[in-house]
Amino acid sequence: MLSKRSQYALKALSYLTEKYKEGPVLISEIARKKKIPLKFLENILLELKLIGILDSKKGKGGGYFLIKPPSKVRVADIIRKVNGPIAMLPCVSLYFYERCKNCDEKHCALHDMMIEVRDATLNILEKRTLVDLTDMP
């Protein structure tokens, strides 16, 4: 399961995608529209900035905005950065790989099964970008 934090992050990014080209958006506006606790959202947006997905502007007329066009930001990458591994086991993770002490990967049926699951998941998430997250009216 994605953490609440990750869910909020995705919601916020989808809102910023809709407002792309309208300039900076207030934290408070995002919080209100997406029903996210304000101070928690502050924290999340800050992380997204440090990660390099967003940038911000202070003072009047300030707010947060996407650095890159929404079509260039993959959902899979956001999830990895905010939530962690997408795979179900460390030994089948592409970006958070860790060798398994309990088995030999060449002969581990669980390993093979989880590779399948990982590929099926990535096949969806790596093809989707923020644009695919914008809600239908």
Q: For binding to DNA (CB under 7 A), which residues are involved? A: 3-5, 24-28, 37-40, 42-43, 45-46, 49, 56-64
Binding mask 14-53 for its own copies (x = CB under 8 A): x-------------------xxx-----------------
Binding-site member from 49, 65, 77, 108 for its own copies (CB under 8 A): 108
- Residue 36: CB minimum distance to DNA, A: 8
Which lies closer to DNA via its Cβ, residue 5 or residue 33?
5
Only segment of 37-45, 48-56, 63-71, 107-115 that touches its own copies (CB under 8 A): 107-115
Q: What is the DSSP string of the chain?
A: ---HHHHHHHHHHHHHHHTTTS--B-HHHHHHHHT--HHHHHHHHHHHHHHTSEEEE-STT-EEEESS-GGG-BHHHHHHHHH---SSSGGG-SSS----SSS-GGG-HHHHHHHHHHHHHHHHHTT-BGGGGSPP-
The letter for the amino acid at 73 is V
- Residue 22: CB minimum distance to DNA, A: 13
